[in-house]
Amino acid sequence: MIIQRTFASKSVNEAQKGLIFAAFLKLIIPFIVVIPGIAAFVIINDPELMAKLGDMATSHMPSDAHADYAYPWLTQFLPAGIKGVVFAALAAAIVSSLASMLNSTATIFTLDIYKQYIDKKASDTKLVNIGRLTSLAAIVIACFVAPLLGAIGQAFQFIQEYTGLVSPGILAVFMLGLFWKKTTSKGAIVGVLASIPIALLLKFLPLEMPFLDQMFYTFILTCATIVFVTLNTSETDDDPNGIPLTKDVFATSSAFNIGAYALLIILAVLYSVFW
């Protein structure tokens, strides 16, 4: 969904500016995610403050088992106008993310599966309708799956962990596809498909490994899979369908470079202070 939004830019320069701006916004997310939890922890463990807040504080009070209740629980202490702004921002973020994900789902199914393997001669009108039906099916499936996630401890960590089943394989394909000329489409497909069982194997083995480490090892093993398949199936030194890369492809503007350096410096400072 990030790539599609970048493709919608009117120029490469505008796309780069958008990515840098989004990266700076990403730096705020740890504070948005962590500070409400800290505030809820302090309030709950302060008897005098809880007494001042009265019954309002004890209703739907978050616990360790339901840490995701901290954010909505804290919103009840906001003034009416600010509470409306917070709710509007949360709703806008959810709708925007949902729209992007549905668009990506419809695009992948319509162009990469339906048009490639089911109906290669499908018209543009038919593809649009198939995309709409795909989005509708995805929403219906999500409606049935959503109630099953109510018993999990932390939704944010759950999402990050299970996104990590897919993202290492995609990263491996991007990295090898861009920087290794021999990479073939067969190697990429096998690598992506293999990355999911590899990730599941690392997750459910009794290794007690953090999910970020699982993602790293999944990436390494997926890269090895792509290299192995490519070397055993490619008959040429370089893939003839590969896109030639020159330094002009990676050219960036001065504004982008300054923003990137500033971003890296801020990120290094944040890690050094809060590690």
- What Å distances lie between residue 252 and 165, 177, 266, CA to CA? 32, 20, 20
Tell me, yes or no, whether 18 lies in a domain: yes
CA angle 100, 106, 110 (to 5 degrees): 150
Note whether 103 and 59 are same-domain residues.
no
pLDDT, position 139: 92
Answer positive or negative: Cα dihedral of 42, 48, 52, 54: positive
* Domain limit, last residue, from 102, 135, 153: 153
Query: What are the tokens at 243?
Result: 């896109």
Note whether 112 and 88 are same-domain residues.
yes
pLDDT, position 62: 63
pLDDT, position 68: 66
Note whether 64 and 2 are same-domain residues.
yes
Q: What's the CA dihedral at 78, 82, 87, 89 to 10 degrees?
A: -130
- State how far Cα 11 lies from the chain centre: 24
* Domain limit, last residue, from 77, 105, 137: 77
Q: How many domains does the chain have?
A: 2
Note whether 2 and 72 are same-domain residues.
yes
Tell me, yes or no, whether 46 lies in a domain: yes
pLDDT, position 57: 64
pLDDT, position 129: 94
pLDDT, position 203: 83
- Mean pLDDT in runs of 10 for the chain (275 residues)? 75 87 86 80 80 67 64 80 85 84 88 88 91 94 81 69 84 88 86 90 81 89 92 71 73 89 92 84
Tell me, yes or no, whether 243 lies in a domain: no
Q: Classify residue 269 by its DSSP letter.
A: H
Note whether 71 and 133 are same-domain residues.
no
User: Model-level pTM?
Assistant: 0.62
Tell me, yes or no, whether 135 lies in a domain: yes
Q: Which among 86, 221, 69 is positioned nearest to 150, based on CA atoms?
A: 69
* CB-CB contact of 127 with 111 (8 Å): yes
Tell me which residue range forms the domain holding 118: 80-153
